[in-house]
Chains A and B, each alone.
Chain A
């Protein structure tokens, strides 16, 4: 089946630093990748939609200058949390999809970000 990986799985950083999270589709080429954020005991919130080679589309209320998304290839998307603050601490999940799988989204295992 389609596998999506994320790296790192867990990261702790100091306030003010930037953190990069990678999302890779391991055995398929993803036409679109998505980034979600999930706070404890809450549902997933879509942050942005990313298509290879084009600018990401951000959901309302998500700061594009703070959450930089780069989708350099059909198998890799990165999310950079710039100048992280404690309120950015959350569980970040990516997903990938392709029209070849009837647009089913395959989710990564998530990245736990803790900002001190």
Chain B
């Protein structure tokens, strides 16, 4: 499983865009990049997954450069309820196991 590195914490204000970059230099050809969100005392929740270029859904966008050695999760116009820990994971879709790193604690202030 490829190791990931992300900032420990980020602060933002309501209405701003938050971008969290994750480094995964050892990503393998078959690996996908997946982001999860976790609120205190809750299980993680799937946000978005991608392989290359850009993926967008109703919650976030995921930008992946051509070399795939990093990825950026973009949360548009955050609100207080987006305060959570965000985890970047890299793994083969055929490999069920997930390895969670430290995650990024995003704090949104009014």
Contacts and interface: CB of A to CB of B under 8 A. Distances in A.
B43 A49 contact: no
B87 A43 contact: yes
Interface size class of A (residues with CB under 8 A): 20 to 34
Nearest to B49: A104
Contact of B45 (A32, A103, A107): A107
Contacts, number: 48
Interface in A82-116: 91, 93-95, 97, 102-110, 112
Given A43-B87, A43-B103, A103 B96 contact: yes
A34 interface: yes
Interface of A: 4, 6, 32, 34, 36, 43-46, 49, 91, 93-95, 97, 102-110, 112
